[in-house]
Structure 1
Amino acid sequence: MTSVLIIKNDRDSGPGRLLEWLDARSISPVVVRAWDGEPVPGSVDGHAGLILLGGGMLPDEDERSPWLPAERALLRQAHGQVPVLGICLGAQLLAHTFGGEVQGKYGQPEKGVTSLTVLPAGADDVLLAGLPSTLRAVESHQDQITRLPSDAVLLMSSERCTNQMLRLGQQSWGVQFHPEVEAERVRRWSPDRLQALGFDPDTVVADADRYAVELEKTWSTVVERFLSLVA
């Protein structure tokens, strides 16, 4: 069976709906719990794709998260060899590893359902072609990619965060948002934490429920296109 290597960087940032979408295409997930001490492989050999999940650290906080050098090395090895998808921290790792810049607590935070604008380059991207020019996604970040690698293509932006989706080469993508997160996960977010960031908890949860069907339709389409490259 075809397999995809998934690196989990944080106890609370799991693969979510990705597991359903992988199963629908008969692709096996191989999840490495890097945050829990499981060693990050030195290569993607034997796997048909790589997915890097989110986390609360910056992509170069090696002292705090000592597996990050191995993850960056894995990313360099995988880029150009297999399809790569970086989510939130994963996108920041992609940008940082290939010459971009990421800053902590930069600009305004994004939490909950957020509107994204598909830029002209996105119209021809294999993952986004044919989708509406405005999409919604679940966000959960304070850190941002503040400079893209010189050869990156910017595909989507939001009002608070310019660099929402990028592509490097022909088959490596990074997304600042969370296509894998369901409304049920949003309902477990700390109300106190949301209020501290300037968000109304009831509104955040209500929006996640209101747009649940739309979010599923949009991101199942995008991720399935990614997985078609893996398969």
Structure 2
Amino acid sequence: MACVLIVKTGDAFPEVVDQHGDFETLFEKQLSTALPAHLDLQVWDATRHPSPPDLNTLAGIVITGSHSMVSEAEPWSEALKPWLQEALANDMPMLGVCYGHQLMAAAFGGVSDYHPAGRESGTRTVRLTQAGQQDPLFSQLPESFAAHLTHAQSVMQAPQGCTVLAHNSHDAHQALRYGPRQWSVQFHPSLRRQ
């Protein structure tokens, strides 16, 4: 059975874990009811187990948020970059969220670093670009929508050839598409109002 792999890139704060679960749990809750029966959902903790799974066993990849910073180039994070590049070259469906967004952008030739305007936190308005309004995934969203955000780093320079799908007043790269089935978002679609 093929699986959708959740790549865990860090641990949520203990009080968040107590109330809502860890980063991967938030994705498991959302994806478990949406996946077709022939797909399995698995978690790989990239921070503790450095050997990535064989891409041939995967149907898709979701990369979580983290309290780590992409620009600090931790060895486990740097080791993910060639694996993600191979996944992109093989047209593997991918979704990167927050840290995953910044990591994908950096892996594919962009720059992720501290935002000069500081941290963005809270529920903020995000707007689709014209390309976002025509994107097969993002066109299902309204042109302007509320999103949950908390991040100190951002994609400061998007990779050459990628498409900017969404932005807001703080961040020019709230959502990017790198290929036909590879997206990343700065905001947290796994967080929903209770």
Could you tell me which residue of structure 2 aligns to residue 88 of structure 1?
A: 98
State the TM-score, normalizing by the size of structure 2. 0.85
What letter corresponds to residue 82 of structure 1 in structure 2?
A: M
- Select the structure that is richer in helix: 1
User: Aligned residue for 2:23?
Assistant: 14
Larger Rg: 1
- 1:51 and 2:56 correspond: no
Secondary structure of the 1:167 match is strand
Q: Does 1:41 align with 2:52?
A: yes
Unaligned runs of 5+ in 2: 13-21
Q: Is the 8 A contact 2:70 2:102 kept in 1?
A: yes
- Distance in 1 of aligned mates of 2:172 and 2:132: 14
Which of the pair is proportionally richer in strand?
2
SS at match of 1:111: strand
Question: Gaps (5+ residues) in structure 1?
Answer: 183-211, 214-231
Contact 2:71 2:113 survives alignment (8 Å): no
* In structure 1, C-alpha distance between the alignment counterparts of 2:66 and 2:112, rounded to whole Å: 14
1:151 maps to which of 141, 161, 166: 161
Partners of 2:107 and 2:69 lie apart in 1 by 12
Letter aligned with residue 7 of structure 2: I
| Structure 2 residue identity aligned to 1:75 | L
Alignment RMSD:
1.8
Q: Identity of counterpart residues, as a percentage?
A: 29
* Normalised TM-score (structure 1): 0.72
Cα distance per residue 1:57-93 (max 9 Å; x no partner):
232423xx32112211210111143101111111111
Report the number of matched residues.
181
CA distance in 2 between counterparts of 1:15 and 1:180 reads 9
Paired residue for 2:77? 68
